[in-house]
Amino acid sequence: MIGTCSVLMAGYATDDQELINAALYGVHTALTEPNQVGFRQFPPPQDWIAGTPETQTHGLLNTFFAPPAIPGGMWIEGTASYAFYVLGAYIDSAEVAWHHGLDLYRHNNAIFKNLFDFPILNSYPDLSTPILNDSQRLTIMGPPASLYEYAYRRYRDPNYLPLINTPNEREFQGLLDTTTNPDAKVLEPFVKGWKAIRYVTVTHIGSNPPSILFDLDPKAGLSLPAVPSVNYP
Query: What integer best gives the mean pLDDT of the chain?
Result: 84
- Which 3 state secondary structure label does DSSP give 6? helix
- Which 3 state secondary structure label does DSSP give 75? coil
For the chain, which residues make up each domain, given as ranges?
A: 1-27+47-58, 65-233
Q: pLDDT value at position 163?
A: 87
Element (H, E) at 27: strand 27-28
Q: pLDDT value at position 177?
A: 63
Q: What single letter denotes the amino acid at residue 73? A: G
- Write out pLDDT tens, residues 140-179: 877 678 899 999 999 999 999 988 887 767 666 666 666 6
Task: Please check the confidence at residue 64 and state whether its pLDDT lies above 80.
Answer: yes
Q: Name the DSSP class of 64.
A: I
Do 19 and 10 form a contact (C-beta atoms < 8 A)?
yes
Q: How far is CA 135 from CA 64, 89, 119, 231, in A?
A: 21, 20, 12, 19
